[in-house]
Structure 1
């Protein structure tokens, strides 16, 4: 059964925030999960009947709940007390306001110093720097083993893409890859390295990718299940 108010729909016991967006440019109702806002974004033509929209959402209940519940795998904000996995190793985020030095890793913790209002930014800044070093080493290892050499590696805070490779051989990777399992990192790096020879997604491209990594199916399944939630983190 579906219950609703202006900002929430409730399927049985699960509350799903809803953002209603009227658009002159759309001719039909559509719904998608917005991972950054942790909400269901419903786009509709002006004057679209709300009762008709709610009937549509009720019909899509299973899909909505499946995708909404995936968002709980990764928190939007990285805060003290949470456990994160960096390059397959778990670390508990600890806030030490009296210490100095920004942020650092121990064997089991990520220690963040300073005032509480700055911890989120310091955690993210640390992870970006960590990613720059860790992902560079992993990409170098894979590229050298295959005698393939990108012209440059950029680590960026992307909102929708895990990586890219341009015609000059410059590879971009999202810093959030350090939070994914090794098979996912290996696959995505192999994917971008394959673009050094094939700037498309032809059969030759996929054959090369599968030659570089055995993890494509597992990695794509992981990204399908958790990718949107992780992209919203940080």
Structure 2
């Protein structure tokens, strides 16, 4: 049976209240043995997974059975934050107001605690993202240098990605990749993720020796991982 990729379904979390719109993404899986629900904190939607031969009505039944839980979890997510004039964006964990100044020269730059964006208003979201990616690459490079020198390693290259589940990775060819959204986190969080991936250039594993290297470079490791656990999904909902 064909399934829509996504749709909005009215769910009633309380029999005494009117139904509320619920964004739903439908998935089929040959490996699934039963219908399941999970919340996607990035998309702000519930994902319903069905085994290949299971009808959609079974997914709808499970959704309605757990409507209260689903709507409560969706309601607890961080709100989406668009890169628009007047809103703010955290850079290094510090909030900067986006100020549109169409008559200025340049593309986007920091000035007096604001992120100034020039040109037409339609260009603002893209120019904010472009600025953040460039600044992320710059700060990650600065952070990586002392860690690499201390460990006696050299990355082949540093790349940026927009991954949903991984903040950084180290490829076998010694290329380091990072989520550009790390620029939105405090500097010490970015520093931990960078040190973690640089340490993989010495130990391509998560052995005790690896963690000893990381701890020596970033004693704030546990604080940083806890910050990402609590706030990482909110960073994914910006832009």
Q: The TM-score by the shorter chain falls in which range?
A: 0.7 to 0.9
SS in 2 for 1:23: strand
Could you tell me whether the CA contact under 8 Å between 1:183 and 1:218 is conserved in 2?
no
1:177 and 2:187 equivalent?
no
1:211 to 208, 213, 216: 216
Which position in structure 1 is the counterpart of 2:229? 224
Per the normalisation by structure 2, the TM-score is 0.80
Q: Deviations over 1:37-79 (max 9, x none)?
A: 3212222343243334322454xx2x8735752432x62x322
Residue of structure 1 in register with 2:95 after alignment = 90
CA distance in 2, matches of 1:88, 1:52: 39
Name which of structure 1's ranges 120-129 and 181-190 shifts more when overlaid on structure 2: 181-190
Q: Tell me how far apart the structure 2 counterparts of residues 23 and 155 of structure 1 sit (CA, whole Å).
A: 31
1:193 Cα shift?
Answer: 1.4
Deviations 1:8-43 (A, max 9, x none): 435469957331515262322222222443212222
Question: Is contact 1:29-1:44 (8 Å) kept?
Answer: yes
- How many residue pairs were aligned? 225
Distance 1:8 1:209, change over 3 A: farther
Distance in 1, matches of 2:64 and 2:91, equals: 41
Choose the corresponding residue for 1:69, options 62, 76, 79: 76
Q: CA RMSD in A?
A: 2.8
- Give 5+ residue unaligned stretches, structure 2: 1-6
Matched, 1:37 2:43: yes
* Structure 1 portions without partners, runs of 5+: none
1:212 Cα deviation (Å)?
1.9
Structure 1 residues 29 and 169, CA gap change in structure 2 (3 angstroms) = same
Partners of 2:117 and 2:127 within 8 A in 1 = yes
1:23–1:169 CA distance, 2 compared to 1 (3 A): closer
Which of residues 103, 114, 124 in structure 2 aligns to 1:119?
A: 124
| Cα distance change, pair 149–95 in 1 and its aligned pair in 2 (3 A) | same
Secondary structure at 1:172 match in 2: strand
Q: TM-score, structure 1 length as denominator?
A: 0.82
